[in-house]
Structures are given as structure tokens and as C-alpha cells.
Structure 1
Amino acid sequence: MRSYQLQRLVDQPILQTSDVKPTIAGFDVLGAFNPAACLFNNEVLILLRVAEAPKAEKGYIVIPLIEEQDGVPTLIIKRFPEPSEPYDPRVITIQGKVYLTSLSHLRLARSTDGIHFTIDEKPFLFPARMDESYGIEDARITFMEGKYWITYTAVSEHGPGVGLAVTTDFITVDRVGMILPPPNKDVALFPQKINGKYMLLHRPMVSEIGKPSVWLAESADGIHWGNHRFVFGGRGRPHQGPAGQERINNQFAWEGGKIGAGPEPMLTDDGWLVCYHGADETHAYSLALALLDRDDPSRIIGRSDTPLLRPELSWERDGFFPNVVFSNGWIQWPDNSNKAGKIWVYYGAADSGVGLAELIAE
């Protein structure tokens, strides 16, 4: 596996939460981050995850979600008395039921230079089904067979699953539906068939047994998936620390807590290049690379031993969810551009903005 560097192109976010207008009157935008990315009609398009919530009300927890009313999924707002004890501002359990305190959707933004973006004022995809009742998050875009395939995390009270939508023009969208049920997320669809099959990477979520890991699945039609196979997981190993506490303390601690695939795999002369994220036991997220065999992507050729990008700048360390760099969007500039062949990586920073880096092969 050749050596790579991930170098920030700018030392400030190219998009911030304050750049995005709320969709709904009386709501605030809490975060704009984790964009999918692609090239379309000589522009860079990104699909931002935009998290919104009703304006705060003193003494109350105010929760937006989708509920069925007369058989129609409808946006509603629930209000509960604010707990007296400390609570997570993002996820809260009330009367035995877990809620998210914001509702995410996907917002389209476009740019001719890949740095300065114009953001649509209305959602591109807004939660519209009961399996999206808690929001739509963290999309990936894969161009294949003349269409743009958009996978995203669809969240409901039953957990996060994987939704699929398809478009040819980023105006009309065919919402295919949920292709992997909860609990699952981080789906990256390969941009071409391999051995006659559609393929994707995904991350089943584990509980008592196992650790988060990246799996491979295949399909004859791009909708129904099977032949699921483990590909790789976090290499961080827990060991018994002081006072009987389990701690992760080795060279791979940075991916010992969580792991998941990022943007769509990119085909290189060496094989399929996969950008992935790893998180440590403190929930700090970093970015790294894996290389998979061209004809058998269940076979690993190489992986990063250390992260290519860590949360180091103030706006990567401080935000709605601190200490995060998380990528689910990259582009390779075409040969007819003045950036021919360059790979630009768009990443969410602290759930509060978007950074930009270039992937450089050495």
C-alpha cells in the first residue's frame, strides 16, 4: 500500500452552522456537518446533514419528530418538563422512551471551485416515513450506471437503519426505502459492479458481544442485500487498568472504540481505496485509509497504522459534539480541470461545520 497524507487545504471551516438557514419557522439550526460529495455538471455538490430543533423553552425539553396522523407522517413537537439532573443535550430518555432532541435532514449546496458554496434554503431530503421519524443523517453519494445513488442513515425509535434514494438531476428523487434494517449505518456503495454484483460496505452495530466493524454485502439489484462478510474492525485492545477499569491503551487506541466506512470506495491502480473513521474510548474521531483487493474487496491489502487526520484545530475540537473529524464525502477532480486528478476530502468537524483536506499519494 502506497503512503498517503491528508493535508488540510484551509485552516478554517469552509461551511459553518451559522451559514445555514432553518427550514421551519421557530426552529434553530444546531449543526451543519458530515457532507456527502460528488461532481455534477461542472460543479461540486454536497449534501449536508443539517440538524434543527425548535427554539429552546425555559423549563422544557422540546423534541421534533415525525408521527403518523390520520395515516400521514407529520412533523410534530413534543414538550416535556426539563429533568432536574444533568442530561445529554442530544439524546434523552423520557418515560422510558429514547428521543433525539433535534431532527436532521439533507441540504444541497453547490460550488464551482469546491470551496465556496451556495446552500439551498430548503431540504433536499426531509424525513418522510416512519422509519425516518427521528431524522435523516450522514449521506454518501455514489455515481453508477448514469444515476446518483444516495445512502443515508434513517433513524427512528427502532434505531438507525440505512435508506436509499436515487436521482439523475438532483431535482427529482426516487426514494427507494430502507435497504438495511436497524441497527446499521455507515453504508458506502461501490461505484461499479464487482464480479457481476453490486457491493457495499456497512457497519452493523453490536451490543454485548463483538466490537464495531466494517462488513461487505452484495446484491443482484442494488436493493436486496446478502452474503454479508466481516472485512475489518478496530484494532484497539482493552486491557485491565488501575482500579479494575478497562482501558484501551495501545498504538491503535484511536480506532478502538468505534469504526465505520466513509465515502464511496475509490478505485486506484492498487485496489479499492477506503477512507474510514475510527473513534477512541473518549469518542474522539479520526480519519484513516484501508486498501481492498480490486476483485475481492473482502481481502485487505493494507491499512493505516496511524490516523491521517485528527481533531487538532479549535473548530474540530469544540462544537456540538467535540473532538470529531468525520468524512463521508470526497471527489477526484477530472482530467479536464485545473485540479486534474486531485482528491479532495470533505469532513464534518465537531458536528458544527465542514473542513476540506487533500489526499496526497507519496
Structure 2
Amino acid sequence: MKDIAKRFEQNPLLSPKDLPASTDGLQITCLLNPGVFQYEGKTWLLVRVAERPEQKEGVISFPILTETGTEIIEIPTNDPELIATDARVINYKGVDYLTTLSHLRLLCSEDGINFYEPKDYPLLVGEGMLETFGIEDCRVALIDGKYYLTFTSVSDNGVGVGLRTTTDWKTFEKHGMILPAHNKDCAIFEEKINGLFYALHRPSSVDIGGNYIWIASSPDGVHWGNHKCIIKTRKGLWDSKRVGAGAAPIKTEKGWLSIYHGANENHQYCLGAFLMDLEDPSKVIAQTELPIMVPSAEYELTGFFGNVVFTNGHIVEPDRDTVTIYYGASDEFVCGAKFSIKEIYSLLKFNNV
């Protein structure tokens, strides 16, 4: 299936070998799913860095955070109480664990292609009992001079949405978990609407409902209410199993444009788009029936978890038509691509709203 993404010729832009591990005894397994923003004339990525110990034959080993530091857990692969059918998650004695521990790392670039790690900027790591399995997949929204960082907080308590804010990227105010488990894929709009913050998010239900995109509003960006489900999975289409928001929606003359991810029963992750009303973004007025980006390049098809394109960061270029996205490919690499908003419009199917 042909898509409309214009991939960077330099892809992948970042691979695990390009950065040093955060600590001795760990190695970087994946670089993926960066939040994206502009600061001091540069393009910045807040990259998810997933690490684990070097794997030895006959043993699965992975790190978790504790009150005293990082603990390495080792489990024999022949243990009858181990379920390890997924590269990302295992179950041992009835408890789920991630096979890697993720933190967020700042990289910057003058040209949007060649990224490096600047000096004197901190790593963002999990803290407390709600982030013992790490923090992941950050979205960045700039509102009134303050950057809002929404990310996935993971622990054996569940998966929820954490929030930190900053103005200088060196000091951060920590607001804790703003949306409890099970929730992720939270993208705050970069403009208040009628005096309120708005955000897309993705609560999940195992029994009734599904992995759908919801919208909520807030008076302060921390306390959220007025939740409403706005995008559901579609049987028989590319987004039949789960959907989730990408980065902050883009304000256009026709509405708020959101680039989102969807997956099918075969765990193929593609990108699509939908359009929300400018004054009432809980109203979806159009959605693409076909994906705008499908895994097709070798680095998107083969990796830690193949057949995946996933974005949670973009920049709208000065022409207001070009959108540069940075995305995770096969859960292992960071890549770049460009879209035309006009081309996305041409694929939208409008509702009778």
C-alpha cells in the first residue's frame, strides 16, 4: 500500500549504537518515539532510550527501578512460570514486566537531521513507585512559554500518564500522574480553547470498550475532566485493534488536525489523521479511511518489534503546509519524514457534522 510520507534519505537518523548507555552494566536496545520541539533556534528530540543488560544464553534479564537504584532481575528461560512470547513484555509468576527500562534523553540539531547530545542537560528518568518500569513516549506542548511533557509512566501498578513542566529544560516541576492506569498517548493542545486546556488521551478497557482516543479539558493542565470518546477502532481496517494520539494537534483553518497511530490484529502500526472542530474539538469532522504512512522501508519492517511506524513528535514548518515528523521505526530506530497538510486533507473523509 503506497503512502504519502516523504521519508528522509538519511533514515534511520538514530540507532542504538549512536548513544552511550546511561550506566555501566546496561546496553541500549532501542531508540524510539521522540517528543519534538524547537528551542534556542534548534530542533530538539526527547528520545525514549530503552536499555537492558547484555542477554546471556538460557537467561532473560531486565532492569527495574527501586528506592535504592537499578535492580537487575534474571529468570531462566526454561522456568515453567515464565511467559515470554512478546519481545516487549514478559509475565513471571503472574506479574508483568517490561524487557527493557526506558528513560528520556535530550538531543538537538541545527539542521533537523544530524542530532547530538548537548552538555549540561539532564536525563529524565522514572521516579517513585509509579515509574519503576521507566517512562516512555513523551509528547511536548509549548503553551504560554512553558513546555508541558506528558509521558507514559510504567510500573507493576499499571500504565498511566505523567506530567512534568519546564521553561529551560534543566529544571522541571513534577506534577505526578495526571491520568491513572490504564492510560497513555496523551497529547495536550498547544492553545487554550475558550480558556481551557484540551488533551487527547487513550484509556484502555480489557472487557468492555477498547483502545480508543478520548478528549478531556482542564482549567490548569493538571486536573482533567469532561472526558469524551472521539475515535474508535474500525473493524476490517488498518486501525482495527488500537488507536492512539500522536503529537499535539495542529491548528489549521479547517480544524484541529491530529496525526494518530493505529494497529491491526497483526500488530502492524500505521499512521492516519483526523480533523476536529476548531471551537469544540470533541467533534470529529473528518478522518482518513486509508493510512497516510505504512511500514515499508527495511528499517520499519525489521527491528526490535518490526512492522511499526509510530510518531509522537512533529514540527510545522513556516510554510504552514509542511509537517516534519520524527518517528520510531520497528521500535528500534528514530527516523524522519515530511507530510503536506494539503495532501492529508485530500485523504480526509468528512462527516455530516
Q: What TM-score, normalized to structure 2? A: 0.91
CA distance in 1, matches of 2:329, 2:60: 26
1:162-241 alignment, distance < 5 Å? 162-235=161-234, 237=235
What do the CA deviations read for 1:75-106 (whole angstroms, capped 9, x no partner)? Answer: 22222222357723321111221111210000
Q: Structure 2: which 5+ residue stretches go unaligned?
A: 344-353
The 3-state SS of whatever aligns with 1:351 is coil
1:342 aligned partner: 322
Please report how far the alpha carbon of residue 57 of structure 1 lies from its aligned counterpart in structure 2 after TM superposition: 3.3
Q: CA deviation at 1:120?
A: 5.0
SS at match of 2:67: strand
Q: CA RMSD in A?
A: 1.8
Amino acid paired to 2:326 = Y
Partners of 1:68 and 1:116 in 2: CA distance: 37
Aligned residue pair count: 336
Is 1:28 matched with 2:27? yes
Q: Secondary structure at the match of 1:131?
A: coil
- Rounded to whole Å, the distance in 2 between the matches of 1:229 and 1:343 is 27
2:256 aligned with 1:272 = yes
CA distance in 2, matches of 1:120, 1:130: 30
Runs of 4+ in 1 over 3 A off after TM superposition: 120-123
- In the alignment, the residues of structure 2 paired with residue 306 and residue 89 of structure 1 have an alpha-carbon distance, to the nearest angstrom, of 28
Residue range with higher mean Cα deviation, 269-278 or 85-94:
85-94
| Paired residues of 1:105 and 1:123 also in contact (CA < 8 A) | no
**TM-score, length-scaled by structure 1:** 0.89
* Residue 94 of structure 1, aligned match among 92, 95, 116: 92
- Once residues 190 and 267 of structure 1 are traced to their aligned partners in structure 2, the CA distance between those partners, rounded to angstroms, is 9
Residues 1:332 and 2:298 aligned together: no
1:320 pairs, out of 304, 326, 330, with 304
Displacement of 1:176 in angstroms is 1.5
What is the alpha-carbon distance in structure 2 between the residues aligned to residue 133 and residue 309 of structure 1?
33
8 Å Cα contact 2:87/2:305 also seen in 1: no
C-alpha displacement of 1:123:
5.4
Name the amino acid aligned to 2:189.
F
Answer whether contact 2:122 2:170 (CA < 8 A) is retained.
no
Residue 15 of structure 1: aligned partner: 14
Partner of 1:131: 130
- Which blocks of at least 5 consecutive residues in structure 1 are unaligned? 238-249
CA distance in 2, matches of 1:13, 1:275: 21
Partner in structure 1 of residue 244 of structure 2: 260
Identify if the C-alpha distance between structure 1 residues 28 and 120 changes in structure 2 by more than 3 Å, giving closer, same or farther: farther
Distance across 2 between alignment mates of 1:31 and 1:8:
20
1:330 and 1:290 map into 2 onto residues whose CA distance is: 16
Look up the match of 1:352: 332
Amino acid at match of 1:128: E
Of residues 111-120 and 280-289 in structure 1, the stretch that sits farther from structure 2 once superposed is: 111-120
User: Could you tell me how far 1:341 is from its partner in structure 2?
Assistant: 5.6
Give how far 1:300 is off.
Answer: 0.9
Question: What is the match of residue 158 of structure 2?
Answer: 159
* Aligned equivalents of 2:15, 2:137: Cα separation in 1: 16
Q: In structure 2, do the counterparts of structure 1 residues 333 and 124 end up closer, same or farther at CA, with 3 Å as the change threshold?
A: farther
Alignment correspondent of 1:83: 78
TM alignment of 1:112-127, pairs within 5 A = 112-120=110-118, 124-127=123-126
Residue pair 1:330, 1:344 contacting (<8 A) in 2 also: yes
**Do the aligned partners of 1:344 and 1:359 also contact (CA within 8 Å) in 2?**
yes
Q: One-letter code of the match for 1:190?
A: F
CA contact (8 A) 2:216 2:227 kept: yes
Superposition deviation, residue 271 in structure 1: 0.8
Q: Using a 3 Å threshold, how does the CA distance of structure 1 residues 40 and 256 change in structure 2: closer, same or farther? A: same
Task: Report the alpha carbon displacement of residue 60 of structure 1 after superposing the two structures with TM.
Answer: 2.4
Structure 1 match to 2:346: none
2: CA distance, partners of 1:226 / 1:155: 22
Cα offset for 1:11?
Answer: 6.0
Hey, what's the Cα distance between the residues in 2 that align with 1:107 and 1:92? 25
1:287 matched to 2:271? The reply is: yes
Shift of 1:12: 2.5
Counterpart CA distance in 1 for 2:245 and 2:321 is: 22
State the identity %.
42
